[in-house]
Amino acid sequence: MTKCVNKHVNAWIDEMAAMTKPDQIVWIDGSEEQAQKLRDEACSTGEIIKLNQELLPNCYLHRTAVNDVARVEGRTFICTSKKEDAGNINNWMDPKECYDKLSKLFEGSMKGRTMYVIPYSMGVVGSDFAKIGIELTDSIYVCLNMLIMTRVGDHVLEALGDSADFVKGLHARADVDEENRYICHFPEDNTIWSVNSGYGGNVLLGKKCFALRIASYLGRKEGWMAEHMLILGLEDPNGDIKYIAAAFPSACGKTNLAMLIPPEYYRNKGYKVWCVGDDIAWLRVGPDGRLWAVNPENGFFGVAPGTNEKSNPNALATTRRDTIFTNVVHDLDNNTVWWEGLDDNPPANAIDWKGNPWDYKKYDKKDKSTCGAHPNSRFTALAKNCPCISSEFDSQTGVPISAIVFGGRRAKTAPLVYQSRDWQNGTFVGSIMASETTAAASGAVGVVRRDPMAMRPFVGYDMGDYFQHWLNMGKKIPNPPKIFHVNWFRTDEEGKFIWPGFGDNMRVLMWILARCEDKVEAVDTAIGFIPKAEDINIEGLDIGLDTMKELLKVDTQSWKEDVENIKAFYKEIGDRVPAELYDELAKLEENLSK
């Protein structure tokens, strides 16, 4: 197809091509034949490396520029006509000023290159939940990733018909110049412009840019929610499946929880976990008054380091075919890939993520600069290749959510799990989330920062208005999910994680679901409902009741310190923080001083 019938699409592409001046324009049609041509071309230029096709069929390796390895929150902008609509937590630029500034960077940026047109759908093509985007890019790597992460092709254009309702995404790698790297969102125009990066979250525009920043803006207008949440189904021995949505910040365990394998104790009884999504959920009120969720994505863009046969065998199996690896170690002997935490056999003859020979003997766990794989190295893999993918993955209606779980990475303060009192209190619990920063975004790692609902980098409007939207949604859901908070990352005096985590997190999910069904009592504390230590099943674990009590402890002093930090954060968000949340904060403070 040279041109589609949609005049809005064509006019926009003409305009963008006049600015970027590509040598040619190629439409991505979603066919395997075209995808293979693109892979071959990218191999011939060195953009990707074909891996061992017997061991890793249809798998490839890519290395980004060394200065371009994570999302750049400092260079991510929300460009609303009024600054206050973007809010204090987002970076803001005036839309006109931003278009002007970036036009200069895009001008002629595709000379000598091809502009690829990627029509994609977030959500099952043509379903009520789905939304369409078109990404223009000069990168084959982006095309190949989008072919995995989203539903791409001619059928998307058919579904669009002659409508103007699509998200216009423009991306150019340009010179990958850090100083001129911009990830800009124009929610009022359904537009995203990204320039001078070639890394995942900055350039796969269907993901964070559209499915969270633009979609959260649309969701507020249209009465639904776009959240940084995994979705999983927990099946009991009778075949009954309950669904949980969980929001953890980047690199804090969503993919791992979404694909967990139950501990032996539960496996033997016949419990199973099914993955619906690992990163993003779009949620709406269903006709039955419950909250229903879909995963708008088609694949996983998962953290590679730490993924292994024990921690996440399902993710590992998913990456054994049709996968693009980014910034991992290249094992030259087998032409395969490796990363820290895969196994105890680092390859002897290897190339690191920067493209240099790598000597594993010089690897020092405490010094990230000696890593073979970048700490934020990733795999891009098809959801349908996941052994535990839910039968509801392609459902048009999504799945009904019984529990929403918030969670952060916190060495202290937050207990293993607690339950909020109701939707309003649960919204408060989400709003005061905090987590140690990770390598998923550029900047310092391990610093505690407030990250409401794990959405701090992804809300496309004012954070106070976002909290208000949560409260408003609560009033519209006759049968709302119960809201919980978890923390897998509490550490002991030596800095070691106390809770075993990974598959054993199922033990906590079991308590959560039991609470949803009023099957277990809880202890009423200052922060909410905490399990009785004996109600978390520790059969088969080498931790005892005392450790469980330690994990569940509410340390009043550190919570009081947290309250001060929350006050400062609410102030920083500004005057749109709902009064209801200040009431909740006052209640918490009062409870803590009792």
Tell me the chain's radius of gyration from C-alpha atoms.
23
**What DSSP state is assigned to residue 239?**
S
Binding piece for ligand GTP, criterion CB under 6 A, among 145-153, 501-509, 543-551, 565-573: 501-509
**Contact flag: residue 279 with Mn ion (CB under 5 A):** yes
Interacting residue with ligand SPV among 203, 294, 316, 440 (CB under 6 A): 440
**Contact flag: residue 201 with ligand SPV (CB under 6 A):** yes
Binding piece for ligand SPV, criterion CB under 6 A, among 201-209, 399-407, 426-434, 558-566: 201-209
**Contact flag: residue 502 with ligand GTP (CB under 6 A):** yes
**Contact flag: residue 325 with ligand GTP (CB under 6 A):** no
Q: How far is the CB of 310 from ligand GTP (least distance, A)?
A: 10
**Contact flag: residue 250 with Mn ion (CB under 5 A):** yes
The mark string for 38-77 relative to Mn ion (x by CB under 5 A, - otherwise) is ----------------------------------------
Interacting residue with ligand GTP among 119, 198, 262, 305 (CB under 6 A): 305
Pairing of strands 191-195, 167-172: parallel
Concerning whether 252 is annotated as a catalytic residue, the answer is yes
Instruction: Look at residues 454, 318, 289, 292 and name the one whose alpha carbon lies nearest to residue 382.
Output: 318
Q: What one-letter code names the amino acid at 462?
A: D
Where would I find the beta strands (DSSP E) of 451-510?
482-486
- Chain centre distance of CA 372: 24
Which residue out of 252, 275, 371, 386 is catalytically annotated?
252
**Contact flag: residue 406 with ligand GTP (CB under 6 A):** no
Please state, in angstroms and as integers, the Cα–Cα distance from residue 436 to each residue in 197, 250, 251, following that order: 25, 10, 10
Contact 420, 528 (CB under 8 A): yes
Interacting residue with ligand GTP among 73, 135, 279, 331 (CB under 6 A): 279
**Contact flag: residue 501 with ligand GTP (CB under 6 A):** yes
- Separation CA 257–CA 403 (nearest Å): 14
**Contact flag: residue 481 with ligand GTP (CB under 6 A):** no
**Contact flag: residue 248 with ligand GTP (CB under 6 A):** yes
Residues 6+ apart with CB under 8 A from 345: none
Tokens at residue 348, please?
A: 């002897």
To the nearest 10 degrees (0 to 180), the angle between helices 140-149 and 32-45 is 140
Q: What one-letter code names the amino acid at 534?
A: E
- Separation CA 143–CA 176 (nearest Å): 17
Interacting residue with ligand GTP among 74, 96, 497, 521 (CB under 6 A): 497
For the chain, give the longest Cα–Cα distance.
71
Binding piece for Mn ion, criterion CB under 5 A, among 174-182, 237-245, 247-255, 366-374: 247-255
Q: How far is the CB of 555 from ligand SPV (least distance, A)?
A: 29
Q: How far is the CB of 167 from ligand SPV (least distance, A)?
A: 16
- Scan for tokens 């001078």, then name that residue: 196
Q: How far is the CB of 538 from ligand GTP (least distance, A)?
A: 15
- Residues in contact with Mn ion by CB under 5 A are 250, 279
Residues involved in catalysis: 252
